[in-house]
Amino acid sequence: MAGGDATIIGRRWLTRRSYDEATAAPARVGAAAAGYTRHPFAAAAASDAMPGIHITDIEAAINWWRERSPSPDGITACAEVRALAEVYALMVYHREPLCDEATMPQRARQAWLDWYASTPDAPCIAICSTSQGDAVCKGCGRSFEEVQRWPEYGPVQKRAIWRRITQEATAWRFNRYAERAREATGVDHPDPGRFGAGSRPAGRS
């Protein structure tokens, strides 16, 4: 058991947990025996500027792969599901909400990226109030900086923003223009004319 936990700590893709916390239980003393003096990502975990992949995204990716590659016998899972399930199980075991994309197992990372590619890229619904001076876009919920820097962001950072605006659910895409959001394809700054007449805003408010 101890050796197994030393391996888990050594993989380094769990975030937001100090070495002391991760090795508090006697069964985890193997990490210290393996030569780790601190959690490799303690400093990175302390900064909100370095988002991780949320456990709900791991779960969503697992379910996407289960539909894409169904079990042939109701028991056996495809390689992608197994890779992601290992990450998911360890996150649950260590009570970790986030994992680090750069150092998670390569097969799991690729399986997650494949799922990510199937999701909408940007939450834009072509009601861009930041261009009219708002600090936060009324249409999509992104800040002015997030709108401007969206092309620079990677999948993990974009998903972190998607998660935040979805939880807040205050942007118009989640309420008064939900129909417009359903018509959106994920393209950033789409042509407003592509949306149906019933989903077009009457004016800025």
pLDDT by residue, tens only, the chain of 205 residues? 333 333 333 344 554 443 344 434 433 333 333 333 333 332 244 344 568 999 999 999 999 999 999 999 989 999 999 999 999 999 999 999 999 988 899 999 999 999 999 999 999 999 999 999 999 999 999 999 999 999 999 999 999 999 999 999 999 999 999 999 999 999 999 998 888 765 555 544 3
Cα–Cα dist 90/94, whole Å: 6
Tell me how far apart the alpha carbons of residues 59 and 52 are, in angstroms, rounded to a whole number. 14
Same domain, 154 and 98: no
One domain for residues 181 and 155: yes
Q: Which pLDDT value is given to residue 118?
A: 97
d(CA 205, CA 193): 20
Domain that holds residue 30: 2-116
Same domain, 94 and 134: no
Residue 19 belongs to a domain: yes
pLDDT of residue 59: 97
Helices (H), the chain: 2-11, 19-22, 30-33, 42-45, 55-68, 79-93, 106-116, 144-149, 155-168, 178-183
Coil vs helix vs strand at 98: strand
What letter represents residue 168's amino acid? Answer: E
Distance CA 129, CA 166 (A): 18
Residue 65 CA to residue 78 CA, distance in Å, equals 8
Q: Provide the 3-class DSSP secondary structure of residue 72.
A: coil
Domain annotation covers residue 121: no
Q: Is 205 within the bounds of a domain?
A: no
Position 51 scores a pLDDT of 81
As for how many domains the chain has, the answer is 2
Same domain for 103 and 135:
no
The label of the residue with tokens 């709900």 reads 56
Whether residue 181 is found in the same domain as residue 108 = no
d(CA 10, CA 2): 12
Interior CA angle at 90 toward 156 and 11, to 5°?
70
In this prediction, residue 14 carries a pLDDT of: 55
The residue among 116, 149, 170 that closes a domain is 116
Do residue 32 and residue 68 come from a single domain?
yes
Same domain, 143 and 109: no
**pTM of this structure:** 0.74
11 and 60 both lie in a single domain: yes
41 Cβ neighbours under 8 A, 6+ residues apart? 12, 14, 15, 100, 103
Together in a domain, 69 and 142: no
Q: How far apart are CA 195 and CA 126, in angstroms?
A: 9
How high is the pLDDT of residue 200? 54
